[in-house]
Amino acid sequence: MLRLTAIMADKVITFYDFPSKKDGVEGWNPFPARSKIQRHPLSKPSGFEYPDVELTLKAAGIPPTTQRPNGKPWYTLPAIVDPSTGVALADSFAIAEYLDKTYPDKPLLMPSHTKALQTAFNEAVLAHVRPIFPFVLVKFCGLVHPVSEEYFRRTRIVLFGKSVDEMVPQGENAKEEWKKLEEGFGKIAGWMKEDEFVMGDTVSFADFVVGGWLILSACLGKR
């Protein structure tokens, strides 16, 4: 049985990630389960762009992650199809949960029954780094191919009522929002104190959550 599991685990997991036009910035969109999924043989479909996400995921049998404000299903990346189990799903947290449950022999993303704590951590972190969005959305446009950029810009206007360029904070407002963001990161650092990882010396989902936001911050470059 163990041997069978080992063989099954060797099947190639399809991993749908965000497209990028820049070399070496694959995986610019942070995804906490990446650490664990990279331990599997992977197939990464390429050539699809933002406007293709819905059709691609539907075709692969991956259900939508949530609903758009207009009530329509919302298909998001990252997403996986695991031929060993037939499971097809999207959403970073759901994928992490699935990988831990299905491959407990690989280092757990949510060790010591910390699933609920990790969920709350993810949410508390988001509340602190929220001011990053208006700064960073426009930067995404420089990372993706023109067809994705056009789609991204158009759909953000529908979502936020203004363009990603108009969203970038200016003047005094920029200073205030930047200060909030710095305080937010400071708060998170305060939780960790002098520990190397969120769970002391054990790497977990939470570290990749924090790391993901730091990667995103790096997109901002020097101000």
Residue ranges binding its own copies (CB under 8 A): 111-121, 123-125, 127, 191-193, 195, 198-202, 206
8 A C-beta contact, residue 42 and residue 62: no
Query: Which residue's CB is nearer to its own copies, number 153 or number 187?
Result: 187
Query: Which residue's CB is nearer to its own copies, number 2 or number 116?
Result: 116
Taking the complex as a whole, the smallest distance from the CB of residue 200 to its own copies amounts, in Å, to 3
Q: Name the β-bridge partners of 67.
A: 73
Query: Which residue's CB is nearer to its own copies, number 14 or number 119?
Result: 119
8 A C-beta contact, residue 33 and residue 27: no
Backbone φ, ψ for residue 91 (5° rounding): 90, 120
Taking the complex as a whole, the smallest distance from the CB of residue 129 to its own copies amounts, in Å, to 12
8 A C-beta contact, residue 48 and residue 59: no
Taking the complex as a whole, the smallest distance from the CB of residue 94 to its own copies amounts, in Å, to 12
Query: Which residue's CB is nearer to its own copies, number 97 or number 149?
Result: 97
Taking the complex as a whole, the smallest distance from the CB of residue 117 to its own copies amounts, in Å, to 4
Distance CA(87)–CA(81), nearest Å, equals 6
- For helices 171-192 and 132-140, the axis angle rounded to 10 degrees is 100
What is residue 84's three-state secondary structure?
A: coil
